[in-house]
Structure 1
Amino acid sequence: MSSRTAVVTGASSGIGEATARTLAAQGLQVVIGARRVDRLQRLTDEIGATAMPLDVTDEASVAEFTDAVERCDVLVNNAGGAKGLAPVSAADLDDWRWMWETNVLGTLRMTKALLPKLIDSGDGLIVTITSVAALTHYDNGAGYTSAKHAQAVLHRTLRGELMGQPVRLTEIAPGAVETEFSLVRFNGDEERAAKVYEGIEPLVAADIAEIVGFVASRPSHVNIDQIVVKPRDQVAAGRFARRLG
């Protein structure tokens, strides 16, 4: 077992859960956080992680979680998500607030709180899971794409601010990954969520987790700045080769 400790947010499902499994298999000690503690407990029983409740939109929750983390060598900012597909003219401000609080300020809170421990580790790594939505825009997606652009700019800015410090930063920008993402976006509408992936072979959470594992296993002098990964059937956000009928 390595002495390195990895913290993974949003670990109750999808990419976060798969990443926790991957890093644990690589021998890292893994600390996982999410709001759905029952799911965290099941994962802990399987991989031997340390689980604690975490709501990245809540200052007190982040403080309690990060104070309990004694050492942090790897931080995976995975908690995030989308709400709705409304045009700007019909924007739901509560949905926008949730997306910005979760994707942007959640990443800021976790990174700021754990940065001293990442530096003290002597070889820290911050992996932020953004999206292809951080690189472009699409109709009806302004709330999510603006939040992901902001999250990515936060991460990229920190890369320069930490120059000379023993911390590496990698942004991973996935395209279509079949997780609970669309189910959350559409408020639990399973039929609508399924149509997002209809006729294509999307990425799965393990595909992204393997990339995180690769990044985390690079030697300390190697900084992989950004990885953009999409399914073969996807060229850009909202542009797919669908095999229907």
Structure 2
Amino acid sequence: MSDKVQDFQDEEYCFPYHYVSEMPRKGGFVQHFVDTWGMNYISTIEYVLERLQEVDSSSIVDVGCGDGRLAREMALNFPDKYIAGIDYSSRAIALARAMNQDLKGVVFHSLDITSESHERKYDVAVLMEVFEHIPPEDSARFLEGLCSLLTPDGILLLTVPHSNKPVEYKHYRHFSCDCISEIFSKHFDVIEVRPFERSGLIRKFLEVILCNRFFVLNNRRLSGFIYKIQKKYLFECDEKRCQRIFVKARLKSL
């Protein structure tokens, strides 16, 4: 096989596409996978990236990085910065490494920050949809471990689900703006708390258009148009109608 042909094949492996189609043993053939939270997730990544541009930093750590998608986008958008992803799950880290072998600007570590130390400190830590996965009885140790990752006056960017949303099966708790501020104020000076992701019938309608039991919208122009609508009209909102919260904070001086 020529190098050129092999290069074409290698480019296909930026995503495990062979795993999308399911064997019919589950009752029927399926050749697509739909992330019903995808629009919310991508718009949050974009928002976090925008807020990172405001912070003067040379290093960023994605705590609770999972499969590494946010860390990947940070590496692509900030090639001059040192980017790391940390997660308790060794399986998640293995997947993050596999999905990001094409990038040299990001590293991943399997680490339990509640009980293990890390040799490096970072100017910025990002916790995107992570803190709700921490058992309340472990939150104090988790926050101490988080602080140990940051340089003096290090910045934290955080998103969590709001208590307007019912607690999901994977989560321990959701938060109000006052609640999340109180939890983090012991170790951080809270600079900004912003509710976002407006709930309501319009969002539900857009989500149904994107995917339902009869079809999945694959037209890029139409799906892109729907995405722009929700970014423009349904992202910013007040706490009464929000589904999630963004927090910006600075590590307190010792």
Larger Rg over CA atoms: 2
Q: TM-score by structure 1 length? A: 0.46
Higher relative contact order (CA 8 A, sep 6+): 1
| Structure with the largest fraction of helix | 1
| Structure with the largest fraction of strand | 2
